[in-house]
Structure 1
Amino acid sequence: MALTIALGLWGIRRQNTMWGDESVTYQLAHRDLSQIWHTAQHIDLVHALYYAVMHEIFGLFGGGLLTLRLPSVLAMSVAASGVGLLALRLAGPRAGLLAGLVFPLLPQVQKYAQEGRSYAMVCALVTWATYALVVSIPRRARWRWAVYGSTMLLACLLHEFAVLALVAHGVTLVVSRVPRPVMRAWSVAAAGVVAGLLPLAIYSAGQSEQVSWIGGPVRLRYFLVVAVIGVACARAPLGVRGPVRLSALAVPILVLPGLLLLIASLVKPLFVDRYVVYGNIGIAVLLGAWMDYFHRLRRSSRHAWIAVVAVLAALVQPSLSLRTPQSRSDDATAIGATVRKEGRPGDGLLYLAGRHRILTAANPEDTRFLTDLALAQDPVSSNTLAGVELPAQEIAARMLEFDRIVAVRAAGAHSLGDPREEAKASTLRRHFRAYGTTHVNGARVTVYARDHGPSPKAGTDQPYRHHRPRVPF
């Protein structure tokens, strides 16, 4: 726990930057609970419980950047303690200590321990549900199974894909050939989890466009690498102390959730590494038990120390890079700051596409003196993430009232078939000229000037002198 907290606090601010998904958490957690609920009817229902939890935390400790990320740091530290206890239960004290120390060193764990999203909390709950499963097998006490079921249900309500851990637990019990009463008790608990999750799953299915951005497996390499390493470690005789074999528990939780998402991706792309971050439980337990097994074989301690130093050295560069703004897919803070720098009071502001308005919404000062040309109703009053936009014709008409427009286009943005986005692009192309573009992490910010006449002749020293836009100050 101490190591996880120390690594979590190291560089937690990431130079005071915030990426897009964290920006959504930040904005929604500052809304009232009723507003969060109404917003969830339109979008992000799967994260509604997490936003409500963060709303209460913000109310108690203030809504700053540290408050946004500290719950994830603490959640990962709780997960680390659970990982240590799991390995202790199944392979002994030394394996438990080593597994608990390996867990916070894993790059994926370091990454999501410092993000204001639900994944660290889900990881902690799945870890302790797994521990509750292990301690429930030999004793068969009903209250232990109730603890297991309620912990798993809470994890699933925070993020639906935690239910894949339930599948992994079932495989563990089948492979371990536990007695029928144990299997029956788990089945009842699992049925309760599925029944509790079902309403959320049914209603959130109507918001499936939220994952339309996934064009293929996202950061698949990490999953494949740790899966191969974990399976290789499982070939050793690890963990014979507990009610189930360590490998029978760790390999399914490591491999199955990601594998099931990959199989589902054959129909609809769904694999994103953070959705199954709790799979790191499996690799940490396996590595801890394998190192304990290696020590018990009395192999050369010098070679062991060389291997440890080599692994730690290899982790330095990823650990440093994870604490930079560039380690995330976008930088909402930098995007907002660029809009503020490039814009002048009275300029128009345009988002291509409109849903990316959330990238500059965390700090209203960034867009305070600009006019959002497409916005009909702001996000808060409309109970949405990005607000409600005007019809296409009105957007085009408003654009023509301005001599300068600051346009924000997020990386990978596409809006085929949306008349509003087509109107924005067409009006810019026909009546404006790109005056300069600034590239930032995750987006580009372009200043467009109204084209009031034909382009100057080639060879003119100052091509914009006679055609500079009229700028209101």
Structure 2
Amino acid sequence: MNTPTRDLDRPLAPPRAPGRRTTAPVLVPAVLATVLGLWGLTRQDSMWRDESVTYQVAHRPLGELLALLGRIDAVHGLYYLLMHGVFALWDGGLPALRLPSVLATALAAAGVGALGTRLAGPRAGVLAGVLFALFPATQQYAQEGRSYALVTAGAVWATYLFLRGLGSTARGWWVGYGVVLAVVCWVHEFAALVLFAHAVTLRLLGVPWRRWSVAAVGVLVAVAPLAVVSAGQADQQLGWLGRPSPAMWLAFLAVSALGLLLSRVPVLADRTVTALALPLLIVPPGLLITGSLLKPWYVDRYVLYALAGLALLAGLALDRIPAQLGKGAARVLAATLVAALLPASLAVRTPESRKDDVAAIARTVRKLSHPGDGVLFLPSRRREWLMSYPTLHAQLDDLALARSPAASHTLQGTELPPAAIRTRLMATPRVLVLTDPDGQPLDPLPQEEVKRRTLGEYFRECERIGAWGGQVVVYVRKAGPGSVAVRGEGCQRR
């Protein structure tokens, strides 16, 4: 016997009078997200290493960019092509790098508002969209030159089309659902995990699966070529990841527990909202973090769109609180919530909110270096710190570089064998070393070991300046038989 279900084509709230449609649930969150995204957009003129990858890759000629994607980073290929187009139209530095994410976040917030309105009425929609825009993680990735805000926008609007398809006999909703989700999965393939959340929603509501199944198969077929290519690149792409840490597990469990709590308070929850929002919140990150016990692929930003589920649950709860506690208590709660989020909102706009500050490191190199100085990257992947500053990099002699990133179709180029690195280093009187902060693990690769050993035996440290997430160390050759003389006295610059 089939379980009867509510007509999902109507909102849970009392129907509005004809002609009283409101755009507030879409516009208010979108405007708020845009304002928050533009606030402190340049983050004090800072840029971290992942954004630097976007910047330098998107500036490569199209042929070189496509050649790179054949070797690594295919999972981000469509995003890089989009940014290549952006920079072709407007090479506006950090604002151009981040503005697409700001606009995508506004679109995502509008989508959350539309979902909330469809499920529970316009006030719940406004509240859900506003909450989503206020989440610190939403604000963080709204100001980041990476693909995660775009993926979130696509996943949210695909979920809206999914919801509309459940309450309609028209096939167009499902066609739109499949097309949008297929494109989003090409922006980042982990967007496909939203399919599992939607499958759980169908199971909880007890509605037919046929049309969704056809759309889902179409999405998987469409993204299969990218999945095959990126699987072959996975060791290079995600080799830096380890198993999920206890802190990651605690964060996932805490957010999931909050969503479960909101869905279990009868006066603040609704069965249909829970059936859509709770799987969206828990299933994609849950699958990714659990799967990472076998293959470490979990990073929370890969499934940023899951926060839309929390926003929907919390938006409905805030909508219903005034009826339970009174408007005064609701206002106090809202003010407390905003005050609690403000410190995090300020923090994500500082350089220290990211792992490093490539711009600050480049400024330090410019201050300490002279044209022709040697430069060494310890480890080699820190070459990324200068990749977005090609003029500065070209003024220095990159002692370990064998083939440039463009020539080798790689992100940071390839390095010489250890013996060649040692020979070039021994012939250089003054070297700037760009390295991680003290206490970081040392790469055991032969090239890295010969860099450290040669510097320790034949060079003297003259100056060390830290920048956020890294440091620049100046070395000069020690005087001795057979050594190359250092122009100037002691550690003085040439």
After TM superposition, the score normalised by the length of structure 2 is: 0.88
- Contact 2:42-2:94 at 8 Å conserved across structures: yes
Out of 448, 452, 458, the position equivalent to 2:475 is 448
The equivalent of 1:458 in structure 2 is: none
Counterpart code for 2:469: G
The equivalent of 1:461 in structure 2 is: none
Out of 287, 293, 306, the position equivalent to 1:260 is 287
Q: How does 1:360-399 map to 2 (within 5 A)?
A: 360-399=386-425
The C-alpha deviation readout for 1:158-217, integer Å capped at 9, x for no partner, is 1111111111111111111003xxx01111111111111122112111222321222243
Q: CA deviation at 1:287?
A: 0.6
Q: How does 1:150-165 map to 2 (within 5 A)?
A: 150-165=179-194
- Contact 1:35-1:383 at 8 Å conserved across structures: yes
Counterpart code for 2:385: L
Q: CA deviation at 1:93?
A: 1.4
Q: CA deviation at 1:365?
A: 3.6
Q: How does 1:289-368 map to 2 (within 5 A)?
A: 289-297=316-324, 299-368=325-394
The equivalent of 1:101 in structure 2 is: 130
Name the CA distance, whole Å, in 2 between partners of 1:346 and 1:9. Answer: 39
Instruction: Give the stretch that moved more between structures: 19-28 or 229-238.
Output: 229-238
The equivalent of 1:468 in structure 2 is: 490
The equivalent of 1:133 in structure 2 is: 162
- Contact 1:392-1:420 at 8 Å conserved across structures: yes
- Contact 1:375-1:390 at 8 Å conserved across structures: yes
The percent of aligned pairs where both chains have the same amino acid is 46
- Contact 1:336-1:367 at 8 Å conserved across structures: no
Q: Flag the 1:413–1:67 CA change in 2: closer, same or farther, 3 A.
A: farther
After TM superposition, the score normalised by the length of structure 1 is: 0.92
- Contact 1:379-1:387 at 8 Å conserved across structures: yes
- Contact 1:153-1:197 at 8 Å conserved across structures: yes
2:376 is paired with a residue whose SS is strand
Q: Flag the 1:399–1:470 CA change in 2: closer, same or farther, 3 A.
A: farther
Name the CA distance, whole Å, in 2 between partners of 1:342 and 1:105. Answer: 41
The equivalent of 1:415 in structure 2 is: 443
Name the CA distance, whole Å, in 2 between partners of 1:470 and 1:285. Answer: 61
Q: CA deviation at 1:63?
A: 4.1
Counterpart code for 2:427: E
Q: How does 1:230-241 map to 2 (within 5 A)?
A: 230-237=259-266
Name the CA distance, whole Å, in 2 between partners of 1:170 and 1:150. Answer: 18
- Contact 1:91-1:239 at 8 Å conserved across structures: no
- Contact 2:244-2:293 at 8 Å conserved across structures: no
**How many equivalent pairs are there?**
455
Q: CA deviation at 1:295?
A: 2.3
Q: CA deviation at 1:382?
A: 2.4
- Contact 1:451-1:467 at 8 Å conserved across structures: no
Residues 1:438 and 2:460 are matched in the alignment: no
Counterpart code for 1:264: G
Q: Flag the 1:327–1:470 CA change in 2: closer, same or farther, 3 A.
A: closer
Instruction: Give the stretch that moved more between structures: 88-97 or 210-219.
Output: 210-219
Name the CA distance, whole Å, in 1 between partners of 2:397 and 2:61. Answer: 26
- Contact 1:230-1:251 at 8 Å conserved across structures: yes
Q: Flag the 1:469–1:435 CA change in 2: closer, same or farther, 3 A.
A: closer
Q: How does 1:135-284 map to 2 (within 5 A)?
A: 135-179=164-208, 183-208=209-234, 209-217=236-244, 220=248, 221-237=250-266, 245-284=272-311
- Contact 1:395-1:424 at 8 Å conserved across structures: yes
- Contact 2:322-2:329 at 8 Å conserved across structures: no
Name the CA distance, whole Å, in 2 between partners of 1:398 and 1:189. Answer: 58
Instruction: Give the stretch that moved more between structures: 441-450 or 22-31.
Output: 441-450
Name the CA distance, whole Å, in 2 between partners of 1:414 and 1:212. Answer: 16
- Contact 2:243-2:293 at 8 Å conserved across structures: no
Instruction: Give the stretch that moved more between structures: 359-368 or 275-284.
Output: 359-368
Counterpart code for 1:135: R
The equivalent of 1:26 in structure 2 is: 55
Q: Flag the 1:135–1:169 CA change in 2: closer, same or farther, 3 A.
A: same
Instruction: Give the stretch that moved more between structures: 224-233 or 156-165.
Output: 224-233
The equivalent of 1:10 in structure 2 is: 39
Q: How does 1:109-120 map to 2 (within 5 A)?
A: 109-120=138-149
- Contact 1:39-1:383 at 8 Å conserved across structures: yes
The C-alpha deviation readout for 1:299-349, integer Å capped at 9, x for no partner, is 232222221111111111111111111111111101111122222333210
Q: CA deviation at 1:467?
A: 7.8
Q: Flag the 1:96–1:239 CA change in 2: closer, same or farther, 3 A.
A: farther
- Contact 1:340-1:367 at 8 Å conserved across structures: no
Q: CA deviation at 1:126?
A: 0.2
1:283 is paired with a residue whose SS is helix
2:472 is paired with a residue whose SS is strand
The equivalent of 1:122 in structure 2 is: 151
1:139 is paired with a residue whose SS is coil
Counterpart code for 2:47: M
Q: CA deviation at 1:143?
A: 2.1
Counterpart code for 1:468: G
Name the CA distance, whole Å, in 2 between partners of 1:141 and 1:414. Answer: 59
Q: CA deviation at 1:470?
A: 8.3
Residues 1:429 and 2:451 are matched in the alignment: no
2:96 is paired with a residue whose SS is helix
